[in-house]
Amino acid sequence: MLLMQLLFSCSKNNDTLVISINNTILVDRINETIELDVQPFEELIKKYGYENLAIENTETGELLINQWIDLNDDKVMNQWLFQIDIKSNSKLSLVVRPLKSGEAQPSSQKTTYSRFVPERTDDYAWENDRVALRTFGPDAQRRAEANEYGGTLTSGIDAWLKKVDYPIIDKWYKNNSEKEGAYHIDTGEGYDPYHVGPSRGIGGIGFWVDDSLYTSKNFTSYKTISEGPIRTVFQLSYAPWEVNGQQIAEEKIISLDLGSNLCHFHSKFTTEGAVPQVAVGITLHDNKGEVLIDNSKGIYSYWEKIDDVNLGLGVVMPSQLDKGFEKVSDHKDASHLLVLATPNQSEIDYYAGFGWEKSKQFASEDEWNQYLHTFMERVKNPVSIEINKI
């Protein structure tokens, strides 16, 4: 009855749209990010402004946390995001309307976050409520090449193991500036025991040519595109590097959604001629962990112990051409599971991330691997969305 009354009252109001969402697979979707194009909402945006549009769950009357993203820095929003929980094989209806007088957008302590970190040379770090990661910039490279203190030479991706759902990046860097090495010690929130070195870490890339791995140096520039309650997005650029006589440059866009253990990586390569086979790496460290390879589904996992606590690492490769893999076992920084894929028009998309046992998100290797398989099923079978005026 409440829904009928709502729809009846809205039918007299041209400032209301209905979003119908259909989950067609036998998987419950928790923290499902819904990404909408701006076009259906242009009239409402002109009339009320982005910040004054609300998304309401018609069953509960609850307003949903939402986020607008300007992808190309032209001051015009390109995407509208919100998250839902939706059961398998079920539908959900939401209403888009202007905020009422005295009504405010909802907020949450949980968020995504990313930033350049000049106080630690020049890292770029990002996090959500489940994971935190970082990679390394040009001054860290310069110091390493000049044999100066504080240098780091790698384009690998470092994992910060957090066990709290609130942001820790600023706090951990502040603690480390006051006492060097502080973020390598767990004082209750987690710590950084993960070794990257010149390896790929979790999700770093290279090119695999004639049984050799060719990798870039540190990123040369960055751009923060968005940070917000639902998604953080940023861009990293890498100078051309030599790949078996061929010069290749990379522009990488990384995003991380709230509630996800996996980051989305989108790399675009610039070179003369064809782009060779890309290799996305999972560092195997001392090779004592358990490897899972499901090449037909594009799922690759490593379950290892770090300081006697289990860590699951994974790469999910949804749709690239000619997927394959190599397992390379030499020494600590060269031992990798390499996921190989042919770029599609000089671009590649994949997901990579981790789950730490102490975060209490995953209690076993089976749970971690099931998460990767469920994640892939959700990616390959997105919800269907209809937007209509009442």
Confidence category of residue 321, pLDDT binned at 50, 70, 90: low
Q: 319 and 272 share a domain?
A: yes
Q: What's the pLDDT score for residue 332?
A: 72
- Angle at CA of residue 326, ends 323 and 331, nearest 5°: 150
DSSP 8-class letter at 359: G
Q: 284 and 304 share a domain?
A: yes
Query: Cα 334 vs. chain centroid, distance in angstroms?
Result: 25
DSSP, residue by residue, 304-351: EEETTEEEEEEEE--S-EEEEEEEE-SSTTT-EEEEEEE-BTTEEEEE
Q: 143 and 277 share a domain?
A: yes
Q: 98 and 117 share a domain?
A: no
Identify the burial level of 151 via C-beta atoms within 10 angstroms of its C-beta, where 0-12 means exposed, 13-18 middle and 19 or more buried: middle
What is the CATH classification number for the domain harbouring 12?
A: 2.60.40.1180
> What is the rounded CA–CA span in Å between residue 50 and residue 10?
20
> What's the one-letter identity of residue 3?
L
Residue 176 falls within a domain, yes or no?
yes
Q: 38 and 81 share a domain?
A: yes
What is the CATH classification number for the domain harbouring 319?
A: 2.70.98
Residue 370 falls within a domain, yes or no?
no
For the cut 80, the answer to whether the pLDDT of residue 8 exceeds it is no
The domain total for the chain is 2
* Enclosing domain of residue 266: 113-359
Q: What's the pLDDT score for residue 13?
A: 55
Q: What is the pTM of this model?
A: 0.94
- Maximum alpha-carbon separation in the chain: 72
Q: 218 and 179 share a domain?
A: yes
Q: What's the pLDDT score for residue 3?
A: 40
Q: What's the pLDDT score for residue 171?
A: 98
Going by C-alpha positions, the residue among 358, 297, 291, 356 that lies closest to residue 329 is 291
Q: 98 and 154 share a domain?
A: no
Q: 83 and 135 share a domain?
A: no
Q: 22 and 76 share a domain?
A: yes
Q: 60 and 83 share a domain?
A: yes
Q: 98 and 121 share a domain?
A: no
Q: 33 and 137 share a domain?
A: no
Q: pLDDT tens digits for 246-303?
A: 999 999 999 999 999 999 999 999 999 999 999 999 999 989 999 999 999 999 999 9
Confidence category of residue 133, pLDDT binned at 50, 70, 90: very high
Q: pLDDT tens digits for 68-97?
A: 999 999 989 999 999 999 999 999 999 999
Please report, rounded to a whole number, the percentage of residues in the chain having pLDDT higher than 90: 89
Sheet containing 113-117, strands listed edge to edge, beginning at the edge strand earlier in sequence: 113-117, 123-127, 132-136, 158-162, 190-191
